[in-house]
């Protein structure tokens, strides 16, 4: 049986591929007998939501306590230019935050107020639907839209899909631009998308989100919508609240009391 | 075979060059080199035993990563019932405080660049 | 057969050398981008997809257009296309490679790209896009290899290739439909969220792709002995005419629903494109140029005399290609982000590194097309000169025999 040079090279190539494939397949979990647990006293909720009282938020001119707290403990970089900007929570004028609600004769205090914007942790999030690697997903147990920065490939499809502009991409290495790195929380690397995660690491320890805790006026209220006695439910039951772009069907869970 | 002389000589030179890393270290007497690691003083044992950690710490860290980030589990209970928080910075680096005298020693020698440090903070570095 | 791309005259190697320089420059800047991050591009927090993704979108269309020669030949036995199906398939392979490269250079963490397959996400259109494009690449490589190989041996292609070729026809339609779905399912971007986006993409693909193929045939006729023949080129011209007419009609449909309904979030994007918004007018001259080119191309194509005259046909094909490139490669992607979800206008323009990296990718695509066409033409013995080569056994033979 003769074999010509072309066939031989083809066969060797296939054999090499096969051997490499076999070697790559050897990824097996080798953890010995062990169990894993959550922390001892986490904050537990079935559907986390936030209610922001715009009147209370406007009490202190130029107050940025919540933004500073969040960005500090999460090592959010400050690039000082809108092109590379990374922000998890920030302020916008009313006409930008709710530009389908604004009109010429809107109530005076709203015309001049700033609204706090952050990820809405939607119940029907368009961003998690489009992620090709599930690097972002909605946690079934409590409704938080999470980020896995190890898996993100930086395609920015989620940024395109978010109707609220809540997501930021790391266009460059953020470390040189972090004023004071907090060692207890990782920074992110260039090339991944990031956003507010409702402080899941603080909730796991039984703490409220940093922005909620930092607010002097308690304008930010965080709680479980499935708990009828929670403060968020009380507020929603007694006040009128609006949400951003509610008609899109994303079911955002950040409510604004106007 | 045509040009047999040139081909065989060429093959021998090629083999010599490509196995250079193997025989050069033996010739220099460095074949038995093992990086020296600074052992931690704050605890008497690691999360798992040394042999296991030596070969599998990367897999352990990967599993911890998925358990913490994706499953929301934070505490690891080892085979003896001891509880550890699953955290590179707060648990591992708590004992192996000098990353450059422990982690980097082997990684640099092997030419491995784990990207963990792009994000996870070495407390010594930022102080 | 690959060795046929490695022999050629001075002109061939000069062109290859030029392409290699372009690719080299692109690679250098890509390494810089890989190291520093995508901040060296013109992209921003508001306009997160730009030139790279726009080129990807445009080139998926060019890749899909191979179906316009495959379908008539294989499904309807239109024999005149027999000589050029291989050119269409090779163009498809090169275009798909460029698409994949544009995606690669656009990603923040490109070496994690296997995560898309390790953690498949069936609800994500991007996952399906990679499957569709990957499959289309494999299909075209298999088809072109086996048909050309059989032609080289002067035997009919194997029987099993026929169903694969038939499969490539709906697959070609699907790659561009899936790419359109990437955009048209996003509630966040009203400019893209239109049912007619996929039909628009296909119409523009079937005009720009065959137009490019016609131009390639003219170039090959000038540089080599390969002559596709008058009939296939004229037929392709008719295809381009109908497709471009449909494409322009679809654009007018889009304009009507946006302008007549007067809904701000629909109108504002078109206003930005054609008149500027908030004083920002970067794309306005480009869009009007695209309109003028489209009208000119339609006139030249619809009037039979100018379509039949090969000089005016060339002008028509160039204007079709340019008009659609501006529409898809500059206008379409970026405008989805302008105005942004907060109603602000933040503009975008590619930076020089971004442009050079893109040229590098185009260089790779052209290199592939050049090499592939060289192989195809060598197999058919239609090169300008037959290089006389000594074979391994010392006898002199004509290449290809």
- Chain C hits for A131, CB-CB cut-off 8 Å, are 121, 124
pLDDT of residue A33: 54
Mean pLDDT of C358-378: 96
Per-residue pLDDT for C391 more than 70?
A: no
Chain A / chain C CB contacts < 8 angstroms: 138
pLDDT of residue A103: 86
C contact chains, 3+ CB pairs < 8 A: A
Nearest to C186 by CA among C320, C336, C364: C336
Task: Tell which B residues from 20 to 79 touch A, by Cβ distance under 8 Å.
Answer: 48, 52, 56, 59-60, 63, 65, 67, 69-79
Give how far the C-alpha of residue C370 lies from the chain's centroid of Cα atoms, to the nearest Å.
15
pLDDT of residue C384: 60
Nearest residue of chain A to residue B118 (CA atoms): A189
Per-residue pLDDT for C392 more than 50?
A: no
Tell the CATH topology of A48-257: Alpha-Beta Plaits (3.30.70)
Of A31, A182, A186, the CB nearest to B63: A31
pLDDT of residue C383: 61
pLDDT of residue C373: 94
Interface mutation target, options A88, A118, A126, A154, chain C, most CBs of C under 10 Å: A154
pLDDT of residue B35: 84
Mean pLDDT of C325-348: 94
Mean pLDDT of C362-380: 94
Nearest residue of chain C to residue A249 (CA atoms): C187
Nearest residue of chain A to residue B53 (CA atoms): A31
Nearest residue of chain A to residue C131 (CA atoms): A132
Nearest to C175 by CA among C81, C73, C70, C67: C67
Of A36, A149, A184, the CB nearest to B77: A36
Averaged pLDDT of chain C: 92
Mean pLDDT of C20-39: 97
**Yes or no, beta carbons of A186 and B89 under 8 Å apart:** yes
Interface mutation target, options C54, C112, C179, C351, chain A, most CBs of A under 10 Å: C112
Q: Is C130 an interface residue toward A (CB < 8 Å)?
A: yes
Read off the pTM: 0.90
Of A84, A134, A151, the CB nearest to C39: A84
Mean pLDDT of C198-206: 96
Mean pLDDT of C65-90: 92
Chain A nearest C-alpha distance from C272 (Å)? 18
**Yes or no, beta carbons of B59 and A30 under 8 Å apart:** yes
**Yes or no, beta carbons of A37 and B126 under 8 Å apart:** no
Chain B nearest C-alpha distance from A189 (Å)? 6
**Yes or no, beta carbons of C121 and A126 under 8 Å apart:** no
- Chain B hits for A186, CB-CB cut-off 8 Å, are 89, 119-121
Per-residue pLDDT for C399 more than 50?
A: no
pLDDT of residue C390: 40
A contact chains, 3+ CB pairs < 8 A: B, C
Rank A72-76, B35-39, C7-11, C395-399 by mean pLDDT and report only the highest.
A72-76
Chain B nearest C-alpha distance from A157 (Å)? 20
Enumerate the β-bridge partners of residue A115. A92
- Chain B hits for A187, CB-CB cut-off 8 Å, are 118-119, 121
Of C38, C112, C343, the CB nearest to A153: C112
Nearest residue of chain A to residue B120 (CA atoms): A186
pLDDT of residue A104: 86
Q: Is A92 an interface residue toward C (CB < 8 Å)?
A: yes
Interface mutation target, options C37, C183, C265, chain A, most CBs of A under 10 Å: C37
Chain A / chain B CB contacts < 8 angstroms: 76
Q: Between C197-223 and C51-64, two packed helices, what is the crossing angle to 10 degrees?
A: 70
d(CA A246, CA A50): 15
pLDDT one-digit tens code per residue, C14-27: 999 999 999 999 99
3-class secondary structure for chain A?
CCCCHHHHHHHHHHHHHHHHHHHHCCCCCCCCCCEEECCCCCCCCCCEEEEEEHHHHCCCCCCCHHHHHHHHHCCCCCCCCCCCCCCCEEEEEHHHHCCCCCCCCCCHHHHCCEEEEECCCCCCCHHHHHCCCCCEEECCCCCCEEECCCCCCCCCHHHHHCCCCCCEECCCCCHHHCCCCCCCCCCCCCCCEECCCCCHHHHCCCCCCHHHHHCCCCCEEEEECCCCCCHHHHHHHHCCEECCCHHHCCCCCEEEEC
Chain B nearest C-alpha distance from A246 (Å)? 28
Domain ranges of chain A: 48-257
**Yes or no, beta carbons of A156 and C48 under 8 Å apart:** yes
Mean pLDDT of C282-300: 97
- Count of CB atoms within 10 A of residue A123's CB? 16
Lowest model confidence (mean pLDDT) among B30-44, C222-236, C367-381: B30-44
pLDDT of residue A39: 84
Nearest residue of chain A to residue B82 (CA atoms): A34
ipTM, two decimals, is 0.90
Interface mutation target, options A139, A148, A170, A186, chain B, most CBs of B under 10 Å: A186
Map out the domains of chain C with their CATH numbers. 2-383 (1.20.1630.10)
pLDDT of residue B27: 87
pLDDT of residue C385: 55
- Chain A hits for B79, CB-CB cut-off 8 Å, are 32-34
3-class secondary structure for A34-95?
CEEECCCCCCCCCCEEEEEEHHHHCCCCCCCHHHHHHHHHCCCCCCCCCCCCCCCEEEEEHH
Q: Assign residue A63 a region: left if phi > 0, alpha if psi is -120 to 50, beta otherwise?
A: beta
Averaged pLDDT of chain B: 88
Top pLDDT among A32 and C249 is at C249
Is the Cα dihedral C286, C292, C298, C301 positive or negative? Answer: negative
Three-class secondary structure of residue C315 per DSSP = helix
Of A27, A139, A187, the CB nearest to B121: A187
Q: Between B4-18 and B20-28, two packed helices, what is the crossing angle to 10 degrees?
A: 60
Q: Is A41 an interface residue toward B (CB < 8 Å)?
A: no
At which residue do the structure tokens 């709906």 appear?
Answer: C170
- Chain A hits for B126, CB-CB cut-off 8 Å, are 181, 183
pLDDT of residue C398: 41
H or E segment to which residue C143 belongs: helix C125-152
d(CA A30, CA A28): 6
| Regions of chain B short of the pLDDT cut 70 | 127
| Regions of chain A short of the pLDDT cut 50 | 28-30
Top pLDDT among C223 and A32 is at C223
Mean pLDDT of C51-71: 95
Lowest model confidence (mean pLDDT) among A69-78, B41-50, C189-198, C336-345: B41-50
pLDDT of residue A150: 95
pLDDT of residue B81: 84
Q: Is A189 an interface residue toward B (CB < 8 Å)?
A: yes
Nearest residue of chain B to residue A27 (CA atoms): B59
Lowest model confidence (mean pLDDT) among B49-58, C263-272, C336-345: B49-58
């Amino acid at each position: 049986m003769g074999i010509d040079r072309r066939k031989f090279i083809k066969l060797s190539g296939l054999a090499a591929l096969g051997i490499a494939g076999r070697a790559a397949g050897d990824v097996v979990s080798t953890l010995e007998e062990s169990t894993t647990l959550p922390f001892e006293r986490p904050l537990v909720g079935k559907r986390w939501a936030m209610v922001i009282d715009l009147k209370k938020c406007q009490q202190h001119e130029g107050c940025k306590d919540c933004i500073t707290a969040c960005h500090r403990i999460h090592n959010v970089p400050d690039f000082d230019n809108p092109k590379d900007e990374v922000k998890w929570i920030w302020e916008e004028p009313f006409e930008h935050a709710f530009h389908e609600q604004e009109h010429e004769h809107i109530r005076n205090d709203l015309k001049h107020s700033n609204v706090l914007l952050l990820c809405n942790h939607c119940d029907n999030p368009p961003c998690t639907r489009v992620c090709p690697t599930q690097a972002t997903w909605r946690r079934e147990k409590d409704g938080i839209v999470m980020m896995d920065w190890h898996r993100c490939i930086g395609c920015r499809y989620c940024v395109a899909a978010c109707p609220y502009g809540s997501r930021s991409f790391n266009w460059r290495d953020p470390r040189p631009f972090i004023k004071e790195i907090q060692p207890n929380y990782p920074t992110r690397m260039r090339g991944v998308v990031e956003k507010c995660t409702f402080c899941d690491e603080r909730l796991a320890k039984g703490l409220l989100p940093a922005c909620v805790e930092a607010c002097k006026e308690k304008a930010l209220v965080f709680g479980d919508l499935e708990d009828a006695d929670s403060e968020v439910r009380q507020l929603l039951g007694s006040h009128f609240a609006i949400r951003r772009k509610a008609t899109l069907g994303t079911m955002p869970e950040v409510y604004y009391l106007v | 075979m045509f040009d047999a002389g040139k081909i065989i000589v060429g093959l021998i030179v090629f083999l010599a060059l490509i196995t250079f890393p193997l025989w050069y270290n033996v010739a220099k007497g460095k074949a038995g080199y093992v990086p020296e690691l600074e052992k931690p003083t704050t605890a008497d044992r690691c999360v798992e035993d040394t042999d296991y950690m030596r070969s599998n710490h990367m897999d352990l860290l990967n599993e911890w990563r998925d358990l913490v980030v994706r499953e929301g589990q934070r505490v690891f209970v080892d085979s003896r019932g001891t509880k550890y928080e699953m955290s590179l910075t707060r648990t591992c680096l708590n004992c192996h405080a000098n990353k450059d005298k422990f982690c980097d020693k082997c990684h640099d020698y092997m030419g491995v660049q784990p990207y963990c440090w792009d994000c996870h903070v070495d407390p010594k570095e930022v102080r | 057969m690959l060795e046929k791309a490695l022999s050629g005259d001075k002109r061939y190697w000069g062109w290859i050398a030029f392409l290699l320089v372009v690719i080299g420059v692109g690679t250098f800047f890509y390494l810089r981008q890989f190291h520093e991050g995508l901040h060296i591009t013109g992209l921003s927090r508001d306009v997160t997809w730009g030139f790279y993704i726009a080129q990807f979108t445009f080139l998926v269309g060019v890749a899909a257009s191979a179906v316009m020669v495959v379908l008539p030949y294989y499904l309807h036995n239109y024999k005149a296309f027999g000589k050029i199906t291989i050119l269409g398939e090779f163009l498809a392979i090169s275009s798909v490679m460029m698409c994949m490269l544009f995606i690669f250079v656009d990603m923040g963490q490109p070496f994690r790209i296997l995560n898309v397959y390790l953690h498949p996400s069936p609800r994500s259109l991007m996952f399906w896009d990679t499957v569709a494009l990957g499959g289309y690449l494999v299909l075209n490589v298999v088809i072109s290899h086996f048909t050309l190989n059989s032609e080289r041996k002067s035997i009919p292609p194997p029987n099993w290739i026929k169903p694969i070729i038939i499969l490539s026809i709906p697959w070609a339609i699907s790659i561009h439909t899936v790419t359109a779905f990437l955009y048209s399912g996003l509630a966040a971007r009203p400019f893209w969220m239109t049912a007619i986006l996929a039909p628009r993409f296909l119409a523009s693909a079937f005009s720009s792709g065959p137009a490019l193929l016609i131009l390639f045939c003219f170039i090959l006729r000038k540089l080599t002995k390969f002559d596709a023949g008058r009939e296939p080129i004229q037929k392709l011209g008719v295809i381009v005419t109908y497709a471009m007419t449909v494409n322009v009609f679809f654009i007018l449909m889009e304009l009507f629903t946006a302008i007549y309904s007067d809904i701000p979030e629909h109108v504002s994007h078109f206003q930005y494109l054609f008149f500027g918004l908030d004083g920002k007018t970067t794309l306005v001259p480009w869009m009007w140029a695209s309109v003028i080119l489209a009208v000119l191309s339609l006139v030249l194509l619809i009037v039979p005399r100018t379509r039949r005259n090969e000089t005016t046909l060339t002008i028509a094909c160039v204007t079709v290609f340019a008009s659609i490139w501006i529409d898809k490669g500059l206008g379409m992607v970026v405008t989805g982000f302008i105005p942004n979800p907060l109603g602000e206008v933040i503009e975008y323009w590619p930076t020089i590194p971004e442009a050079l990296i893109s040229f590098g990718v185009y260089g790779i695509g052209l290199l592939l097309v050049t090499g592939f066409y060289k192989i195809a033409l060598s197999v058919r013995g239609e090169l300008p000169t037959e290089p006389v080569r000594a074979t391994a056994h010392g006898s002199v033979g004509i290449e290809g025999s």
